[in-house]
Structure 1
Amino acid sequence: MSRQNIAPEKITKPIQLLGAWLVGLFSVNSTFLFAAVNIAEPAWIPGSLVVAAIVNVPVFLVAVFILQTKFRPELQEDSYYAEYISQKTNELIRVSASPHSTQELLSKIEVLEARLAGLVSSNGEESISEFNGLLFGVNLHLKDRDRIKTVLSEHGVLKVTKFGDPDNEPADRVMSISQYLSAEKVRKLVILAGKLGMDGYRLFDNHMEETEEDVLIGSYGGVQFEVI
């Protein structure tokens, strides 16, 4: 006869307890029938064991039926049962969280905090975090090139290149912005152009011109729009 092993520490849910009861019923009835076959004297014992095994089944089924109907809420997991009690009694029920769910909640909180940190700077103003994905080019002829790079760094810019013709200085301080950027990014770049002291800005097709930079500060094109 095969032996059913039940690890009590692994039974953490009511539905698992029900399964353990089924295994218990099978084990008890198997024991009764095995004993009935192997016990000859006194004569009344085998019959009693067989009757007990037979009666066990309907008694167990009735008990399971009652549990699944009248006491069904009590068979739910702790979190669902706590919600049921809270709705039934209108009282606040606290359920201790498992280490796994607590760690998952902390991870989600950390992700939200990281997103908020990218949206709001330390002084409470909106951070232009989307500049991180843009490539800026700064003309080598600009006298305040170092200051411009410092301002770009303060606004989260991570990639800057140097461009320009060594023998040809730009006539005006113009920022060229890729026409493929979103309207919101263009708006913020125009604000940035004002902070950098640009005379104006223009939109250009960096794909057609095969320019890897998304923004050119000190470009050679003329002013298309003035900075207000």
Structure 2
Amino acid sequence: MDDAKTRSRRQILEVAAELLERRGAQALSTRAVAAAAGIRAASLYQLFGDKDGLLSALAIHAFDLYLTQKHTLSSSGDPVDDMRRGWDMHVDFGLEHPALYLLMYGTDRPGRRPPAAQKAQELLMTFLGRAATDGRLRVPPVLAAHLTLAAVTGVTLTLIGIPEGERDPEVSPRMREALIDALTTDTSPAPDSTLAARALALDATLSRADPATVPLRPVETALLQDWLQHLAH
């Protein structure tokens, strides 16, 4: 795609996002977006196909906005505190952009999610991988990621459905702390820590290590990680 088409596509998505947030999903017809963008409907169809194509592109655009904010969260040095900050940023984004958030996480068909969601999942795994490497996770990072996403999207969607003046400000932090208590330990494991915590920490360290620095063949590393994951349960 050439630069002119890329710019045109981005401008249309920005107009569509503004229209979605201002007037809701029912107002987001291809004709309305084309009119708001000052283009012919035929031009919009050339770029996005039908309305489903526009919505898919808009979901990716929403994830790009989300990830731009998420990447501003530098590590604090405490992986559990980073989990808290990541949770708060996620909820704040959803409440600031409710219509976009519903497009991102309120799938219209079971099993369907925008490809850009994988990038957000990978970023979450990065935060949880740090916690596991430090011996702070009670469960494997993949399970922790599924539980975290289920909890944070559930809270955000629930809050979006409540009028702003009626939202209880304790809902999000209480759920956040309940989840963190369930997933993490208070401190890094001591030498006499549980076998599960130490196995998780070593598994996470191997996952994040440069393969060239691991004195095992790939098949041996995979076998060791399989054993470690069994020990962690």
Structure number with greater CO (CA < 8 Å, separation at least 6) is 2
TM-score normalised per structure 2: 0.21
More strand by share: 1
- Normalised to the residue count of structure 1, the TM-score between the two structures is 0.21
Higher helix share: 2
